[in-house]
Structure 1
Amino acid sequence: MTFRLRAARPADLEALYEMAKLTGGGFTNLPPDRAALQGKLERAETAFARAEDTIVDEQFVLVLENARTGAVRGTCQLMSQVGQRWPFYSYRLNTLTQYSQELDRTVRAELLSLVTDLEGSSEVGGLFLHPGERAGGLGLLLARSRYLFVAMHRPRFADRILAELRGIIDERGGSPFWDGVAGRFFGMSFQDADYFNAINGNQFIADLMPKHPVYIAMLNEDARSVIGVPHPTGRAAMRMLEDEGFRAEGYVDIFDGGPTMVAWTDSVTSVKNACNAKVTALDAAEGERAILATGHLATFRACFGARVLDGEGGIAIDSASADLLDVCEGDTVWSVAR
């Protein structure tokens, strides 16, 4: 394995832009716009450089690099506290029960209510793996290394964490959910709204979105059928989130209706089970398969490897992983079982 995750740098702009053009839309955290991506990288550079271990509104961008060739083939992001620069909107699925004594009938209506319940949470998102690398578990490395980053910098993240999954996008690049709900009020296509949100933020939602609940029964079948349903390419990501302890709690994205998964940060499996130890040997090629990480903020690095924990604060790792992480005996390595 020659791949490692590391902190993104301004020089990664072109690689991110080329990957952004492959997302197929509905991918707000990775817009195919150089200026927007440059802004993300500049914001991440500031976050990686900040010394205080406190929670503020920051964005960290990580990239998956082939250490042998230097090629960047994937990326992911962490947002430490959403909803600070502008509101973090979601739709919440609710049920309204009403009873008529005269008819002796109970009616339950499902509603979509515009809420900011998740404001202040941390978020993992922006995960994209180049189509040419979707083998060998690299998606797992991208996804789970984020939780090691959280564990290694825990004071910088909130007690609750969320992940938004892309919803259903049709063959035209449109969203049945957007067309059936918000699109009726904005006079713009899903692609235009999604792009505008990625570049300018979602204050326009606050300005124009109706604040009253939407009765799901009044939506067309196309819109109803995709509420809380992930895009086919996101089903594996949803399973990985569930394995980490994330759950769907009735929140869906206001643009495409995709599910928002929520968890308590300290209960996320890879955060809870992460441990740190001093490297005692570089000969653990036959050890337990694990994700290994080292560094702090801008020097963060992670890769697949092998480990043997000695139970006394020491860890032996394989020499290939030591090379990828640039560590030697006496250095500290974080790890979690693969």
Structure 2
Amino acid sequence: MMIIRPITEQDHDALWQIAQMTGVGFSSLQPDPEMVQRKLEWAVNSFRAEKPLEEAYYLFVMEDMETGTVVGVTGIESAVGLKAPWYNYKVNTQVHASRELDVYTRIKTLTLCSDYTGHSELCTLFLTPQYRKSSNGHLLSKCRFLFMATHAPRFNESIIAELRGFCDEEGESPFWEALGRHFFAVDFVEADQQVARGKSFIAELMPRNPIYTNLLPAKAQCVIGQTHPDTMPARKLLEDEGFRYTGYIDIFDGGPVLETQIRDIRAIRDSRHYRVRVHDCLDTDESVWLMANTHFCDFRCIAGQLSFEGLEFVNISQQQAEVLNIRDGDELRVVPLFNPQRHNHR
């Protein structure tokens, strides 16, 4: 059984091992000892703080209960850009027309902006390759929605997810090579290591005026708003939950920014609270449910089967109750793991 729980100081070595697997372009978790330690301390302090931090970082781990191994991480930032600027490019359209010359041209432009300042952000999602099977990826991503549903005052009404942009087999980003490299003379890998410490320095060196994309090489134009192949499953999952691309991209690699209102996320909107009844033996159907306790520091989330008893009660097994750290009569937030409208047509 896989369980989601808040990260602790004891998970440092596991977080460091995962950081060494993330690869180029995964700027939110790099194999940098100082960064890993900083992220860990930030997350632990966010869970321990008596009052919500202005910019809290809620980082969770997925643990294989059979082996005790941490096999994935997933996070939420309560707000971005409140202490350091949060920059994106907005993809706009400029029209150049002349009746005399019978010319009408639409050209995309990139405009530097900070429109997402204060928004919450989904971040730091990584599952180790050997566990990318079954429904593990869905559990790792969607557990955050049940946490946000229960602790809504800690988050903004709007939330974004900045996805990794396209890079080729050699680890080069066509977008960076065509744009960022001209103003910050290092290759993509080195820039990626710098970005792990923050992206504001890139914006400080980039032009403030709109950039006409037709002046960029064709390879760079083609990857604007495109997602890294390894991140496509995460993008499809978020889109199934209600996230949409609305024309904002990352200033570093051109990856898309998805956004939505928290209340419109399917797993939040459709989740319900039930009272728990614990059973030694349990008859269930084949449906898989996402279930989480209503705790904060001791948050737990799993995916599994259960049954319902009327409109008020849900029946779970003794093992599930122990893993979720709940007892008979406690509250449990429940929602189908998959979007029924999408899943039934696959």
In the alignment, which residue of structure 1 is the partner of 2:208?
211
Shift of 1:126: 0.8
Identity %: 37
| TM-score scaled by length of structure 1 | 0.95
Partner of 1:81: 79
Encode CA deviations 1:276-324: one digit per residue, 9 max, x unaligned.
Answer: 2221233544144201111422201111122333344322123332232
Question: Secondary structure at the residue paired with 1:261?
Answer: strand
The residue number in structure 2 matching 1:256 is 253
Counterparts of residues 81-120 of structure 1 (less than 5 Å): 81-120=79-118
Q: Which residue of 1 aligns with 2:230?
A: 233
Deviations 1:55-103, CA, capped at 9 Å, x for gaps: 7211111000012221000001100001112111111110011221211
**Further displaced range: 204-213 or 142-151:** 204-213
Residues 162-201 of structure 1: matches in 2 within 5 Å? 162-199=160-197, 201=198
In 1: Cα distance, 2:136 partner to 2:257 partner:
23
Give 1:315's aligned residue.
314
> Which amino acid is 2:245 matched to?
A
Quote the Cα distance in structure 2 between the aligned partners of 1:11 and 1:115. Answer: 39
TM-score scaled by length of structure 2: 0.93
Deviation of 1:51 (Å): 3.2
| Partner residue, 2:276 | 279
Q: Which range is displaced more, 309-318 or 13-22?
A: 309-318
Q: Residue 63 of structure 1 aligns with which residue?
A: 61
Structure 2 match to 1:289: 288
Q: Which 4+ stretches in 1 moved above 6 angstroms?
A: none
Residues 249-288 of structure 1: per-residue CA shift (max 9 Å, x gap): 0011111111110001110111111212221233544144
Q: CA RMSD in A?
A: 1.5
1: distance between equivalents of 2:252 and 2:304? 39
**Using the alignment, how far apart are the partners of 1:268 and 1:321 within structure 2?**
25
Corresponding residue number in structure 2 for 1:246: 243
Secondary structure of 1:64's partner? Answer: strand
Contact 2:283 2:307 in 1 (8 A): no
In structure 2, the partner of 1:130 is: 128
Q: Which runs of 5+ in 1 are unaligned?
A: none
